[in-house]
Amino acid sequence: MAWRWNVGLAAIAGVLFSASGAIAADEIILKYGPFRQSVAVEDLNQLAETGEATPRLRRFLNRANQTPETAQEALTQQLTMDVVTADRILNHPLATPALEQVGEVIYPSSRTATVQAMRSAIVLSASNDGTVTPIEVINNYPTRRVFVEGDRLVETFQQFGSIQQRVNDLLGVLRQF
């Protein structure tokens, strides 16, 4: 039954978000403290995959006193979370504060529906390979423009991981009853 649910969620997510008309982030407004720069998603993907920053991104990171290596580490930090677990955790009332917290670091320009958008981006990220990274969440965010508070990304993602573990533990206890 769980396998069927997992496959069903993955299929639905794939159909909804892989369709040619699906909205996905293509511009990032990257913020580090007082510095702010518009960055193409492809530039962040390249940094995450190779550790190499485009000249424009490198200049921005230098101004923000960050290295490409540090930024790459922040973008590729992994949480293990299969799609079924992601769906269960993220739809549990205890997850809302964690989604709100992550939604203060990765958010749309309107700052509305951040919990729903974050939930969607995380579930879609988990459906790909059973892991979630900030770069996957950014890529799967359901708006064309996404703001990222780069200086808070690692800390928030680590806190989200600890909240994930607490909710997992709680769900395990609840299943026993």
pLDDT confidence band for 124 (50 / 70 / 90): very high
pLDDT band at 6 (very low <50, low <70, confident <90, very high): very low
Asked if residue 155 has pLDDT above 80, the reply is no
Q: What is the pLDDT of residues 58-94, one digit of tens each?
A: 999 998 888 999 889 888 988 888 888 788 888 888 7
| Top-ranked range on mean pLDDT: pick from 1-10, 108-117, 133-142 | 133-142
- The lowest-confidence range among 71-75, 142-146, 154-158 is 154-158
Q: Give the pLDDT confidence of 127-137 residue by residue, as tens digits.
A: 989 988 889 99
- SS3 sequence of the chain: CHHHHHHHHHHHHHHHHHCCCCCCCCEEEEEECCEEEEEEHHHHHHHHHHCCCCHHHHHHHHHCCCCHHHHHHHHHCCEECCHHHHHHHHCCHHHHHHHHHHCCCEEECCCCCHHHHHHHHHHHHHHHHCEECHHHHHHHCCCCEEEEEHHHHHHHHHHHHHHHHHHHHHHHHHHCC
pLDDT of residue 135: 92
pLDDT over 80 at 174, yes or no: no
